[in-house]
A and B are shown apart, each in its own frame.
Chain A
Amino acid sequence: MENKINQLFKEKKSNILSIYITAGFPELNDTVKNIRTLQELEVDLIEIGLPYSDPLADGPVIQEANKVAIINNMNLHLLFEQLYFSKEEIKIPIILMGYLNVIMQFGIELFYKRCAECNVSGVIIPDLPIEEYNSNHKYYAELNNVKNIFLITPKTSIERIKLIDSISDPFIYVVSSNSITGNTLSSFEELRSFYNQLNALQLKNKTLIGFGISNSSQYENACQLANGAIIGSAFISSIVNAQPAKNFIHNIRKLKSIAL
């Protein structure tokens, strides 16, 4: 069966909207509830963050969500269980995003096996070095048809972008600026000139832009450059502020028909 992320990128070339949620947040059993809501709102892709005590690349909003989820006793075993029992109803492609330590303790081979069993199509492990991906992860990921998604930033060298393009499929996660998550992006200037470079490279992969995307105009700007965008901290904040997901997503997509 074709990987769901590949399928998505084949069918949809623009305005892909990916939303990040933290597993077990705000309540332990909200993971699937949140997925269901986002699926109904026709979001294209969902990233589920595995809570970790020391998320180096994350700002205060996602740090706090991680902390709450850990207090709720969320862990990888439980997350896979939640996903396994909702396998039939979850059609949307799921990507797990987690720091390597949590995955290491779970067991790398088992991790990819469980991903396949639980309908997870891709993983983002931001602190996984490429060498270690090649030696310890790639085999199990491919065996289970799970895609490893890698990040680049506007500061990544051309040589390294080419390397990452060669190991990625079907998309590369473009971090909007050199900054942790949740810092609102102030300008698209750097990204625009970065994309000039990127387009000239004729990469085989599609791209999504993430980090610091929080409103509809930023989403639009990102979609002009990339195949879509990823929203994390802003969505988590909307959950914290008890804003209905529907309002948030409609706002981002500028669906004016919905009264807010």
Chain B
Amino acid sequence: MNYIMDTIQLPNSKGYYGEYGGAYIPELLFNNIQELEANYKEIISTEIFKKDFDDLLKNYVGRPTPLYYATNLSAQYKCKIYLKREDLCHTGAHKINNTIGQILVAKALGKTRIIAETGAGQHGVATATVCALMNLECVVYMGEVDISRQATNVARMKMLGAKVIPAKSGSKTLKDATNEAIRDWINNPNSYYLIGSVVGPHPYPDMVARFQSVISSEIKQQLKQHQNISEPDFVIACVGGGSNAAGAFYEFIDSKKTKLIGVEAAGKGIDTRHSAATMVLGKDGILHGCKSVVMQTSDGQVIEPYSISAGLDYPGIGPLHAYLGRSKKATYLHVTDDQALEAAINLTRKEGIIPALESAHALAAINLLSPKDTDVIVVNLSGRGDKDMNTYLQHLSY
């Protein structure tokens, strides 16, 4: 199977999806971004890249991941529910689709030192993994607060040979880890910055979306086999920065039939100031080099978001989603910590699958839809719940 699809390119040549995207970077980053922008399309269209990418996704990551018909969940909701099993990817989440792609780009550019940011540690682990595989130096920035919350992933990164550097600025979480990673890149322009979601300056959102688009191209083919249809009625995915959602939506963005549902973390509720529902609470602005929707004060100071799930508490959202949401080509819903926890235990007991807390948000959103019994719903199960066992144990009584 050919995993890089030549689909309609959404952003224009400057990296804008409608009015969102672009590259809002200090001059110090101009050459870094220019180098990537000038080369990425060519690199990823070479035969050697396609061959390596396909081969690694198949034999290393374990693709294609199953599209599993969830019988019990379908009976519960009285419709046809499929789970796209990204949780079965090597390292436990969709994040590795992107790191495989980008590490091959980094190699093609002759880079030997890789910088990444991470929140929960999933992207950090996926980056450390491909760096170990390719024998490249790996530096991961992680908020000091997240380091203490996510000890297992820190240990995994260290065992994989990565250097984990605590981000001590600002609120010491993902937003600040991203700032620190970008500052490292300014100081070390010969390094490669391996970003973890469809965010950041152009061309990152486009490049990451392309690497994750494997999710929807598989869904399309697998639905054909299962249901003899190529487009589902709904695709549901959780949205932090939006990479798993971008990947799950990609092939269906132009579909007249498929309703695209992105699910953000409402945290303790959108009126509580402890939330990460960017599309509801944010305004147009600039964060980490791209114009998008950003949670911020009226003065333009970025607000620290909250969610029980460390992978969803990002105060921005990828420009593709800002565009799809504002132009009503996709719908962005939000579910609370409690709703996500409930959906996690429900899936675990009904199907014997412990989801990542992030993915549990997507599952919880089924409750917010009113599907017909003939409707086919695909939920992107972006990751597995191993990393979240502490949180589950704290919140669920057995």
Contact = CB atoms under 8 A, between A and B. Distances in A.
Interface of A: 51-54, 56-57, 59-60, 63, 67, 70, 75-77, 99-106, 126-129, 131-132, 150-153, 155-157, 160, 175, 178-180, 183
A155 B31 contact: yes
B173 interface: no
B300 A54 contact: no
A59 B179 CA distance: 10
Interface stretch (B19-27, B136-144, B240-248, B258-266): B19-27
Contacts of A132: 22
Contacts of A150: 27
A153 B286 contact: no
B129 interface: no
B24 A129 contact: yes
Nearest to A59: B183
B299 A54 contact: no
Contacts of B300: 52, 101-106
Given A54-B179, A67-B170, A183 B187 contact: yes
22 contacts: A54-B302, A56-B179, A56-B182, A56-B289, A57-B183, A76-B299, A101-B294, A102-B300, A102-B301, A103-B300, A104-B284, A104-B285, A105-B298, A105-B300, A126-B26, A128-B24, A132-B22, A151-B27, A151-B28, A155-B31, A178-B189, A179-B187
Contacts of B286: 99-101, 104, 127
Contact of B27 (A101, A102, A156, A179): A156
Contact of A152 (B14, B27, B183, B294): B27
A70 B30 contact: no
Contacts of B253: none
Interface residues of B, number: 33
B289 A127 contact: yes
Nearest to B169: A63
A155 B31 CA distance: 8
B134 to A, nearest CB: 25
A129 B27 contact: no
B175 interface: yes
Given A101-B286, A101-B296, A152-B27, A54 B170 contact: yes
- Among B25, B28, B294, chain A packs the most CB atoms within 10 A around the CB of B28
Contacts of A156: 27, 30-31
Interface string B175-193: 1000100110011010000
Smallest CB-CB A-B distances: 4 pairs:
A105-B300, A102-B300, A57-B26, A75-B299
A126 B30 CA distance: 11
Contact of A180 (B27, B186, B284, B298): B186
Nearest to A160: B30
Contact of B24 (A75, A127, A155, A183): A127
Given A67-B170, A155-B31, A180-B183, 17 more contacts: A52-B301, A54-B288, A57-B183, A75-B299, A99-B286, A101-B286, A102-B300, A105-B283, A126-B26, A129-B24, A129-B25, A150-B27, A151-B28, A153-B28, A156-B30, A160-B30, A178-B187
